Structure 1
Amino acid sequence: MRTINGILLGLMLVLAVACSRTPERGGYRPAPAPGPGANAQLGDSAPHSWNGRGPYGHEVHGIDVSRWQGDIDWERVRNAGISFAFIKATEGGDHYDPGFQRYWREAAAARIPRGAYHYFYFCRTGAQQAAWFIQQVPREIGSLPPVIDLEWTNSQTCPRRPPPHEIKREAAIFMEIVGRHYGQRPIIYTTVDFYRDNRLGDMRAEFWLRSVANHPSVPYPGQRWAFWQYTGTGIVPGIRGNTDLNAFAGSRADWVRWLQARLTR
């Protein structure tokens, strides 16, 4: 059910995006574009040499966070050039990230578009996991699309590694149920080995790809993507310790158009 608070927060996010086109007219000013020569506030505690094909030429950068980031100063995060945040909400069919609700509220209050992600387990059905995610994550106007995190788990309680056809079947069920509830088809986050082992390229979805040693075109040849997680050792003012950093595939104008198409309504 859409709450009044959710609607108000969503409208704030939509206004923030719309005003980013013409900040000289007043309203919310867009976060500055990150990267060397554009914004020196974002850093990396273990920088990689990208040989000319790195993420820093991208205009739109964001973070993904979980409880382990602790207290976050979201205003500082936004002012450092962060344009979006994906926040861990759930795992499997019964685990809930205790930092989710607080981050969800605080990111919205700082006018940072944010979405929730679910860490998929292979010991529960896609339907069970979808029900758990929907139970925990509010449907709010202005939220980013939900994300299904598909990677091999190291869980002692769920060591299963099902065959590709089973993984894709259950993930598709999750995406169908969750997409219908939120009105936006989920994004797939995945890693190089999981993508390769399970031949995920034939799944119908936008992709968020992890690649910390090469441009995504190298380990994911031919795969289109919307987001690129390029480091797990990022430095962002307002967050203590390392955090994941991500780049959006297009320009800032593309980002505004993407948000207009993909925000929850």
Structure 2
Amino acid sequence: MRKIKETAGTKGKNRIQKSKKPVKPVRKGKSVRSSGRRGKRKPGGTGRKRRGGFRLRDRRIALITAVVVLAAAAVFLFCISYVVLGSYNGLGEKETIRMNRYSSDALYTRSGLRHYRDKNYRSIPGIDVSVFQGNVDWDKVYDAGIRFAMIRVGYSGSEKGTIHEDENFRKNLKGAKKAGLDVGVYFYSQAITTDEAVREAKYVIRHIRGRGVTYPVVYDMEHTPGDRVGDLTKKEKTEIADAFCTIVQKNSFRPMIYGNPEWLLKNLDLRYLTGYEFWLAHYSRTSYYPYQYAMWQYSSTGKIKGIRKNVDLNIYFVKK
């Protein structure tokens, strides 16, 4: 409301006059709007709308960023869970096979388990299990002195090579680790081509990645009546074993090949496989085998507390 000023009239009458404010002259080229006072805006005016607009835009950017980050994390988790690196390009060069350097005099038995110790090597006692051992009480196994377990992750069928997971694999892996044992895995293969061996290896990697497998990942091919592998040549078996181990190695696990002396010497050309460790199956008091091996399965009729059925007994050689 405009202010009013009351003044006394000449004849005793009051005269009311409107107070006048000086009007600023308007410069040429500028509008009245631009010449007015700046900085003050009415509530809800243009300035607040702009700030609100900025906040809305920031929220949208933050939302888009969060979606992109979550999508990237999902892709990463998919890759580490399902994408397995590597392909097979054939056998490499022949190498000299390392000779066996163990001494039978360094073997001894304690608490029913075999051990080894000399100036270069010591041993760790272990077992290997599959669904055929039934339910295992892993705490009792550990208390019996066992320190590692090789667990069957799966196998391929002898008719079509279809891959199957061992029924007790997940339970055995979880139970052994919880009890404090180190774990490795093995896969029983009936692959008849290198492509099948690559597929088997990738299957194994997908099932063990991120699950605390610290011992070797083993390739196990054995000939039985009516199986798929009986007609393979020595070179084909060597290539198949090499293909499996190549994929395992490319995915940062330690490959190993299993077999008894006859299988290893007659069915594989070991000169192409010198880059891998070997797991020897030989049930005798002492193990005579001309070439170096890292693990020895010395009995298939072991008795261990926590396992009702017979179990394979092993020792793993560790360089001091």
Match of 1:226 in 2: 294
Match of 1:134 in 2: 205
Does the aligned pair in 1 maintain the 2:192–2:232 contact within 8 Å?
no
Q: Secondary structure at the match of 2:147?
A: strand
Aligned Cα root-mean-square deviation (Å): 2.6
Structure with greater strand share of residues:
2
Distance in 1 of aligned mates of 2:180 and 2:217? 18
Deviation track 1:141-172 (CA, whole Å, cap 9, x = no partner) reads: 45222111132244x45253311111111211
Does the aligned pair in 1 maintain the 2:235–2:268 contact within 8 Å?
no
Equivalent of 2:312 in 233, 241, 244: 244
Match of 1:262 in 2: none
Q: Secondary structure at the match of 1:228?
A: strand
Match of 2:141 in 1: 77
Query: Structure 1 residues 200 and 212 mapped into 2: Cα distance closer, same or farther (>3 Å)?
Result: farther
Alignment of 1:145 with 2:216, yes or no, is yes
Tell me: higher relative CO, structure 1 or 2? Use CA pairs within 8 A at least 6 residues apart. Answer: 1
Deviation track 1:114-134 (CA, whole Å, cap 9, x = no partner) reads: 011111213352212223223
Alignment of 1:173 with 2:237, yes or no, is no
Alignment of 1:195 with 2:264, yes or no, is yes
Query: Structure 1 residues 132 and 141 mapped into 2: Cα distance closer, same or farther (>3 Å)?
Result: closer
Q: Based on CA coordinates, which of the two structures has the bigger radius of gyration?
A: 2
Equivalent of 1:117 in 186, 194, 202: 186
Structure 1 unaligned spans of 5+: 4-33, 43-54, 255-265
Structure 2 unaligned spans of 5+: 1-75, 79-106, 118-122, 157-161
Match of 2:111 in 1: 39
TM norm structure 1: 0.69
Query: Partner amino acid for 2:241?
Result: A
Query: Structure 1 residues 200 and 99 mapped into 2: Cα distance closer, same or farther (>3 Å)?
Result: farther
Distance in 2 of aligned mates of 1:171 and 1:250? 24
Among all aligned residue pairs of Structure 1 and Structure 2, give the percentage whose two residues are the same amino acid: 30
Query: Structure 1 residues 178 and 162 mapped into 2: Cα distance closer, same or farther (>3 Å)?
Result: same
TM norm structure 2: 0.58
Query: Structure 1 residues 142 and 151 mapped into 2: Cα distance closer, same or farther (>3 Å)?
Result: closer
Query: Partner amino acid for 1:215?
Result: T
Match of 2:234 in 1: 164
Query: Structure 1 residues 111 and 129 mapped into 2: Cα distance closer, same or farther (>3 Å)?
Result: same
Q: Figure out how many residues of one structure are paired with residues of the other and give that number.
A: 204
Query: Structure 1 residues 180 and 57 mapped into 2: Cα distance closer, same or farther (>3 Å)?
Result: closer
Deviation track 1:57-101 (CA, whole Å, cap 9, x = no partner) reads: 465210000001111110110111101000001112412111000
